[in-house]
Amino acid sequence: MNGFERWALVASPTAVAQTAAAELADAMDWVAFDDADVVIALGGDGFMLQTLHRLLERRALPVPVFGMNLGTVGFLMNEWRRHGLQERLARARPFKVTPLAMTATGIDGRIHTLPAINEVSLLRETRQTAKLEVTVNDRVVLPELACDGILVATPAGSTAYNFSAQGPILPLGSAMVALTPISAFRPRRWRGAILPDKARIGLRVLDPGKRPVSAVADQREVRDVAQVDICMDRQHELTLLFDPEHALDDRITMEQFIA
């Protein structure tokens, strides 16, 4: 059983996920979320992100998560099946996911530190184009980027918002992050960069009073930011479990061949 003794079951509030949770209620002697050494998550990708963030907020080290898709896309999930869960956990392949750490300083001087498993994105708040200074390891690489926004994506998140913004798909384990502009106006030919995941990325908002910008770490937003600093948080690695025939690394690779 892959060494797991205490299992927790969590489910999205959607009707289909709640029905599935009821079907599994008698399958195991479930324990509370904070007492588990493995979590079974029922829902879609959004609910998986919520579950992973919940694990990051625990005092103890995060435990592995095995998700089953009862949402829309289910990129981070396995196929939903009611039976054979113990056997599937015994065969499951683990994949490590390192979150980003976002430190956002507001124009009021307040500092907000948030994790991001998929991406950190900066977005203009009004009709005014955002203007940003971009630094990598304290070196200014773009003195002024005029755009709707910019994002930093992990390999696990590179197939999500990053891909929609024409960013590259990063293989899991590539030790890279994607720096992708959103509707860049100047410089016109800059389409983003692929950086080592050891890089420290700084994004300073130019003229934040006239051109306000918000920062979003996955699903959590900080408005009216003046500076955002991003790096990998290696102290809080997460583990996702997948059926061998439906593994995350293969899915990310195959996304590059979908027309």
**d(C-alpha 189, C-alpha 187), whole Å:** 6
Low-confidence residues in the chain, pLDDT < 50: 1
Q: Are 151 and 162 in contact (CB under 8 A)?
A: yes
Q: Choosing from 29, 37, 45, 233, which is the catalytic residue? A: 45
pLDDT tens profile 137-185: 999 999 999 999 999 999 999 999 999 999 999 998 899 999 999 999 9
Look at the block and give the residue holding tokens 């981070």. 76
Give the CATH number of the domain where residue 50 resides. Answer: 3.40.50.10330
Claim to verify: residue 38 and residue 112 sit in the same structural domain: no
Q: pTM of the full predicted structure? A: 0.89
Kindly state whether residue 1 falls inside one of the protein's structural domains.
Answer: no
In the prediction, which pLDDT does 252 show? 80
Kindly state whether residue 130 falls inside one of the protein's structural domains.
Answer: yes
The closest of 163, 182, 227 to 201, measured between CA atoms, is: 227
Q: Domain count of the chain?
A: 2
In the prediction, which pLDDT does 147 show? 96
In the prediction, which pLDDT does 1 show? 43
Q: What is the span of the domain harbouring residue 67?
A: 7-98+237-257
Binding-site residues from annotation for NAD(+): 45-46, 118-119, 148, 156, 159-164
Claim to verify: residue 231 and residue 127 sit in the same structural domain: yes
In the prediction, which pLDDT does 253 show? 78
In the prediction, which pLDDT does 247 show? 74
The yes-or-no answer on residue 29 being catalytic is no
In the prediction, which pLDDT does 54 show? 93
Binding-site residues from annotation: 45-46, 118-119, 148, 156, 159-164
Backbone angles phi, psi at 124, to 5 degrees: -65, 145
